[in-house]
Structure 1
Amino acid sequence: MWWFLIGTSCLPVTLVIWSCAAFVISFSIAVLSRHVPPLVPFISDTGTFPPESCIFGLMINFSAFLGLVVMYFRYKLIQALNERKATINPKLNTAALVCGALGCLGMCIVANFQETTLRIVHDIGALLAFVMGTTYLVLQSFISIRMMPYHHSRLVCGFRTILSAISVIATIPMIICYSLAARSSSTLEWKPEAKGSSFQVTSAICEWLVAFSFNFFFLTYIKEFQTFTINVRTVLLPELNEECCNTF
C-alpha cells in the first residue's frame, strides 16, 4: 500500500500539494502575463487579474475547504486520544478548531474579493487568514507539547514550535509594513525606487514566509494521520424511520 493511502494521510498530502500548486501556477501565469513584477509580489497580487484570478480563486477556495477538513480531523483525533488519557483541555482543542476555521474563511474572502475591486474586504480577509492561521499553529504546537511523549515525538514538537514561531515573527512585520506601503495608490504598480517600495517588499516576503510555514506545518500531520481513519454511519431517527415505513 502506498504510504499516502494509509489511514487518512492523503488529506494533509493533498492539502499541501494543492496549496503549493495554487501559489506556483497563479504566480507563473501572472508573471508571464506581465500583471505582476517577478520580484516578490504579494500572494493575492498573483490572483487579481484574469486569467490567473480564475485559477487562483478556484484553487484557494478548495485549499480552504481541504484545510478545514484536515483541521476537523485533527480535532477529532485529539478528542479521541483525550478519551484514553485526558491531557488536553477540550476547550483548548475547540479554540484551535475555531481559529483554524476563521483562517479558512479568511482565505475564501481573499480568493473571492480581489484587492482592486473591494480592497477593504480583501484586506480584512487576509488579516483574518494570517492572524487566525498563525494562532492555530501556536495552539496546535502547545497541544503537541502537552501530549508529548504520549502521542508526539520531540522532533515533531520542535519542528511545529519553530514553524509557529516563524509564523508569529513574520506576521508582525508583514502587517506593519503593509500598512506603511498601503499609502501608495496601488499594490500592483510600483517601482524599486518608489517611496515605500522597501516596506512592500518586506511585507510580501513575510507573507510568503507565513504561507509556506502553514504548508510545512500541515506536512507534520502526515505521520499521525496514518494512525486513524474516520467512519461515517447513517442512523435514522425513530420517528422518521416509522414514517418512511408507513409511506411505503
Structure 2
Amino acid sequence: MSVWMILPVSLPVFTITGIWVVYAMALYNQHVCPVHNWLYNESCEEQLPSQRGPELCCTLDNIPLISKCGTLPPESCFFSLICSTGAFLVMLVTLLRYAHVIEKHQNCVLNMASLSTGWICAAGLAMVGNFQVIEHL
C-alpha cells in the first residue's frame, strides 16, 4: 500500500474538521449565533458580543455562514490556514491524478482539463481563505 493513497482521503477529513473548529471558535467568541437558533430577530437592542445568558437575540447578520465564521479574529487566522492548506492539498491531489492517468493511458484533453480545473478551484479556495471581507452597514 502506498502512502499516497491517504492524501485524497485526508483532504475532506482535514477541511471538514477544520471548518467545524472555525465554527466552534466563532460560536465561543459570540461572532455568530448557534445553528439551532432559527428565530432570528431584526430588533435586537444589544450587539451579539455584549449579550450574556443562554438565550441570545440574533439578527440576520449573525447567521453562521462559513464566510461569517471566518471573518473576525482569532478564527479568521485558522480559517485562512485551513483554506490555504486545503488549496495545497487540492493542487497535489489533482497533480497526482493527472500523473496517474498519463502513466496508465495516453495524455488527453480531458485529463489536461481536469488538471486545469482543479488548480483553478485551488486558487479560488486560497483567495477565499486569504481575502476575507467584513461588511459594514
1:102-132: CA deviation from partner (whole Å, max 9, x where unpaired): 1110111111111217xxxxxxxxxxxxxxx
1:201-248: CA deviation from partner (whole Å, max 9, x where unpaired): xxxxxxxxxxxxxxxxxxxxxxxxxxxxxxxxxxxxxxxxxxxxxxxx
- Counterpart of 1:115 in structure 2 is 133
- Counterpart of 1:136 in structure 2 is none
Q: Which has the larger radius of gyration?
A: 1
- Residue segments in structure 1 that go unaligned for 5+ positions in a row: 84-88, 118-184, 187-248
In structure 2, which of residues 123, 126, 136 is the aligned counterpart of residue 105 of structure 1?
123
Counterpart amino acid of residue 109 in structure 2: K
Structure 2 CA distance for aligned equivalents of residues 7 and 59 of structure 1: 22
SS of alignment partner, residue 9 of structure 1: helix
In structure 2, which of residues 12, 25, 34 is the aligned counterpart of residue 16 of structure 1?
12
Alignment of 1:215-230 (within 5 A): none
Q: How many Å apart are 1:13 and its aligned residue?
A: 2.2
Identity %: 34
Structure 1 CA distance for aligned equivalents of residues 64 and 113 of structure 2: 33
Structure 2 CA distance for aligned equivalents of residues 107 and 21 of structure 1: 16
Structure 2 CA distance for aligned equivalents of residues 72 and 38 of structure 1: 38
Alignment of 1:159-174 (within 5 A): none
Q: TM-score, normalised by structure 1?
A: 0.41
1:139-191: CA deviation from partner (whole Å, max 9, x where unpaired): xxxxxxxxxxxxxxxxxxxxxxxxxxxxxxxxxxxxxxxxxxxxxx76xxxxx
Counterpart amino acid of residue 83 in structure 2: I
Alignment of 1:52-201 (within 5 A): 52-83=75-106, 90-116=108-134
Structure 1 CA distance for aligned equivalents of residues 80 and 32 of structure 2: 17
In structure 2, which of residues 23, 26, 47 is the aligned counterpart of residue 27 of structure 1?
23
| Cα RMSD for the two superposed structures | 1.9
Q: How many Å apart are 1:38 and its aligned residue?
A: 2.0
Deviant stretches of 4+, over 6 Å: none
Structure 2 CA distance for aligned equivalents of residues 98 and 114 of structure 1: 25
- Residue segments in structure 2 that go unaligned for 5+ positions in a row: 36-62
Judging by fraction of residues, say which structure has more helix.
1
- Counterpart of 1:46 in structure 2 is 69
Structure 2 CA distance for aligned equivalents of residues 22 and 64 of structure 1: 13
